[in-house]
Amino acid sequence: MISQFILTDDEVREIESQLGHLVREFKTPEDPVFLHEAGIFAHDLPLRARKFINDFRLKESADAAVCVISGYPIDNQKIGLTPFDRGSKSDTQRTLEEQMLLVLLGSLLGDPVGWSTQQAGHIVHDISPVKGQETGQTGSSSKEELFFHTEDAFHPYRGDYLGMMCLRNQNQAATTLASNQIISRLTRDEINKLFEPRFVIRPDASQFEKHRFAKVDELSEDDFEKFLQYSDAKISKMNTTPEPTAIFFGDPASPYIRVDCHVYMDALDEEAEAAIHAFNRAVQEEQIDLELKAGEICFIDNYRAVHGRKAFNYAARYDGTDRWLKRVNISRDIRKSRDMRMTSTSRIIF
């Protein structure tokens, strides 16, 4: 299920040299020019790494729904303390190289995108425990299991891939994974039910966070406000009257998946309820653990794998040493979200 790639020492030096040039030119991975050119800069990454990610993107191998790239060194002192909140980005200069590398590798798969409602609209997110959110169904929890899901399952413009780079994880928590090969544990009738639009998925709580955004120069004040109202209304409709959807779609032999946990998803009838219970059992039987180590980068195919996270092995300490990942969502076709982005070049979905 996991395809592994290990960088050589020469490849690490090649990457560090490239990043050294980029951090002198750009001060944040959110820089619009950097994001615009990231796909070009990515051409300078080591050839073996580019081939590895290209194979992952195109082959959709049954034994590679997730890929992991290892060997990039992390300077524990340089990156500083694990953040205590979400979205403040106070560490940007300390982790600039790492964030840029995650964006560059992700750009070989598609276009990194962000949500206006998540982490102040940043492209690169922090995943770390936040005090007071220990038991929630978000990446900020720690005491509770994060149930299996595909990322942003409720949204038609959800990412094709989820990228995560581990900066710190001292045996504190494992990401849990299962691929679409769970169909081998399902009956033909159960599979057929899961291919039918007999489920509804609602937005998670983070999609209703509100952040202030500067007006976009290309838009008049009136158009800017109209766009915000349009976007708010669309998210609200997804919450109050979600459209029925299928869990499986695409190739019946190797289906794509769109699913969320019971907190945000409902079956519309008893047969559908039985089918999703069978799906959940299959996931539990097939799940594997991925305990990312500092410097490792993984990309999860958000159409072919579900993911979650185990409860922390030991309690979050909130002292700057807790588990810390950087996360990015990647879309293979950014044009499909044009009605919810303010301009054609914007990466933020409202």
* Residue pLDDT tens, the chain, 350 long: 999 999 999 999 999 999 999 999 999 999 999 999 999 999 999 999 999 999 999 999 999 999 999 999 999 999 999 999 887 788 999 999 999 999 999 999 999 999 988 887 899 999 999 999 999 888 889 999 999 999 999 999 999 999 999 999 999 999 999 999 999 999 999 999 999 999 999 988 666 666 566 666 677 888 878 877 887 788 888 899 999 999 999 999 999 999 999 999 999 999 999 999 999 999 999 999 999 999 999 999 999 999 999 999 999 999 999 999 999 999 999 999 999 898 899 999 98
Identify the pLDDT of residue 53.
Answer: 98
Contact (Cβ atoms closer than 8 angstroms) between residue 305 and residue 177: yes
Encoding tokens for residue 241?
A: 């009257």
Q: Is residue 97 a contact partner of residue 15, using CB atoms and an 8 Å limit?
A: no
Domain span including residue 67: 2-349
Question: What's the residue count for the chain?
Answer: 350
Collapsed DSSP state (helix, strand, coil) of residue 342: coil
- pLDDT at residue 87, as a whole number: 73
Distances (CA, A) of 226 to 208, 229, 342: 18, 5, 11
CATH number at residue 26: 3.60.130.10
Give CA–CA dist 275/267, Å, rounded: 9
> What is the amino acid identity at position 217?
D
The pLDDT score that the predictor gives to residue 210 is 62
Tokens matching residue 172: 């504190």
Check residue 316 and give its pLDDT.
95
**Count of domains for the chain:** 1
Cα–Cα distance measured from residue 176 to residue 260, given in angstroms and rounded to the nearest whole number: 14
Q: Max alpha carbon distance in the chain (Å)? A: 59
Of 21, 22, 29, residue with least CA distance to 328: 29
pLDDT at 118: 82
Quick check: 263 and 194 in contact, CB under 8 A?
Answer: no
Place of tokens 């219970």: 277
Q: Enter the tokens of residue 57.
A: 């993107």
Residue 60 has a pLDDT of 96
Q: What's residue 120's pLDDT?
A: 79
pLDDT at position 217 is 67
| CA-based nearest residue to 265, from 254, 255, 277 | 277
